[in-house]
Amino acid sequence: MTKTSHQDKTIAVIGLGYVGLPLAVEFAKSRPVIGFDINTARVDEIRSGKDITMEVPDTELAAAEHLLLSSTPEDLAAAQIFIVTVPTPVDAHKRPDLTPLLKASQTVGKVLKRGDIVIYESTVYPGATEEDCVPVLEAESGLTFNTDFFCGYSPERINPGDKDHRLTSIVKVTSGSTPESADEIDGLYASIIDAGTHKAESIRVAEAAKVIENTQRDLNIALVNELSIIFNRMDIDTQAVLQAAGTKWNFLPFKPGLVGGHCIGVDPYYLTHKAEELGYHPEVILAGRRINDGMGAYLAGQIVKEMLGANVAVNGARALVLGLAFKPNCGDLRNSGVVKLIRELQEYGIDVDVTDPLADAAQARAEYGIDLVQPDTPADYQVVILAVPHDNLMEQIAPWRASGQVFVDIRYSSSRGRDRFE
């Protein structure tokens, strides 16, 4: 590969979700970009100037004058750089599901040309780009890797709902399959990332860096979740303990809670899957996953105990859950830990209503069979559970907290005190 300039190349971003759309819009402020998604409804929504994920403001969408939106694979042929940002979920058995990634690779492979570069941003286990995706690209294109085309990996670091840490203000890890392609890919991202880039020594290093970022967070949350269970048995306020310990300069400020979303609750399984393929059974990582996966059931049990302590009959009681998304100020419902809590409460015979002003009602119904409601008055519920403290929910929390019913704040968001039950 002799040419290292990216300036005169058209970029195609495959997948226009939380990761792909901000990337496509940022690049399209100054150069031609093809934004591709197989979901025609999503493409139509963006064309209308709206982003239901709330990651890209309407004004930024309007400013992306060089963005061509498409659901037609043939339109991708005009690009020379392809950036794949599709989801990488796990299946019902917690095994990596590379189906979206491999299908995207097939789509790109059909239009791949000599000299083109394919960059993957989706979270994978180390080795997936070169071992799983490259063979698909070669088979579909008839081209030879690192002779006719080149690849890179630059892990996404989008934090849904975070208005402070945006695409351009987060350091971008980059990598390429050859030294020349690594330089070009690094320069490509450096052209839009104000915070700068970090060029990893190989694609596998970049893949590994991504997967451990969220594994580390998962384990830290698991630790404080387990501590909160222990402290609850000791009748010690977990929040008070964390505040006291947090006065030390190097204490990490993790909090207990439900773990969900497309990263923390998923990425560790990609690493453990690869480790087990190599004959090593990860002990610590999987233990953390078990703790975090079990928090929905644990919290449901603690809520029921609180109801019984308040002489509230459990079977047939009405409960209102405030918030369904996996984190505050975000409408993302993927792998929401709140769902497990709801299911457990229903197992106790509790009639659960759910409200979330940021979540998409159709998605909640399609993915979980949950119908979002406009809640009744506080008096119509025996228990109210603040699960996701969106700002607009917190603005209306006072009457629910003062209702006289059992009020449970599972994130210590509305006040200090024994409202949290870990």
Could you list the active site residues?
263
The amino acid at 385: I
Instruction: Label each residue of the chain as H, E or C.
Output: CCCCCCCCCCEEEECCCCCHHHHHHHHCCCCCEEEECCCHHHHHHHHCCCCCCCCCCHHHHHHCCCEEEECCHHHHHHCCEEEECCCCCECCCCCECCHHHHHHHHHHHCCCCCCCEEEECCCCCCCHHHHHHHHHHHHHHCCCECCCEEEEECCCCCCCCCCCCCHHHCCEEECECCHHHHHHHHHHHHCCCCCCEEECCCHHHHHHHHHHHHHHHHHHHHHHHHHHHHHHHCCCCHHHHHHHHCCCCCCCCCCCCCCCCCCCCCHHHHHHHHHHHCCCCCCHHHHHHHHHHCHHHHHHHHHHHHHHHCCCCCCCCEEEEECCCCCCCCCCCCCCHHHHHHHHHHHCCCEEEEECCCCCHHHHHHHHCCCECCCCCHHHCCEEEECCCCHHHHCCCHHHHCCCCEEEECCCCCCCCCCCCC
- Phi and psi at 37, nearest 5°, equal -150, 140
